[in-house]
Amino acid sequence: MSIAVTFTLNGRQVSAEVSPVESAADVLRERFQLGSVRQCCKQGICGVCTIWVGKQAVSSCLLLAPNLEGAEVLTVEGLSADAAGLEPLQRAFLQERALQCGFCTPGMIMMARALLAEHPEPDEELIRKYMVGNICRCGCYPEIIRAIRSAAQAERK
């Protein structure tokens, strides 16, 4: 049995036939070829699959695809149109070298966007608490913290 869902994905309306038990992560990656939507733990623990639904960061591995109906979904691919148009958070991750393998980076950026939306001037303690659900296997945490603080400063200018 499949269910038709229509939603806004990175600013454009899309539709897909989904299974009632299929995850949003699977649909976004497989049907819409969004390479940033990755899965690691498939339990909502690691943060790798973080996307925005509405104005909230969610673990797309835990969100059932039928729940995308009518939603506004944002992934890293929807943040900027091209490399010249990187937003401050993306630019800060590059400048601070807040990545090595890059596997966790899309989820980190989406969660950091949520943090900065709620707390435009976070201190290091708040960044650490907020980002605790996003795991970086390469251990780039100091660089990630610097990148988030740098982006917060850039957005205040």
Residue 80 is predicted with a pLDDT of: 77
pLDDT confidence of residue 156: 80
* pLDDT number for residue 82: 58
| Distance (Å) of CA 7 to CA 4, 28, 40, 52, 115 | 10, 11, 25, 13, 24
- Which pLDDT value is given to residue 84? 66
In this predicted structure, what is the pLDDT of residue 10? 96
Distance between CA atoms of 14 and 8, rounded to whole angstroms? 6
The angle at the Cα of 61, spanning 43 to 78, to the nearest 5 degrees, equals 140
Residues in CB range of 29: below 8 A, 6 or more apart: 35, 37, 38, 39
For the stretch 31-42, pLDDT in tens is 999 999 999 988
pLDDT number for residue 83: 55
Which parts of the chain register pLDDT below 70?
81-84
pLDDT digits (tens, 9 = 90+) for 74-108: 999 998 755 567 888 999 999 999 999 999 999 99
Gap between the Cα atoms of 149 and 144, Å rounded? 9
Give the list of residues 6+ apart from residue 33 with CB closer than 8 angstroms, or none: none
Domains and CATH numbers, the chain: 3-78 (3.10.20.30), 83-156 (1.10.150.120)
Q: How far apart are CA 88 and CA 85, in angstroms?
A: 9
**Residue 1 near residue 47 (C-beta atoms within 8 A):** no
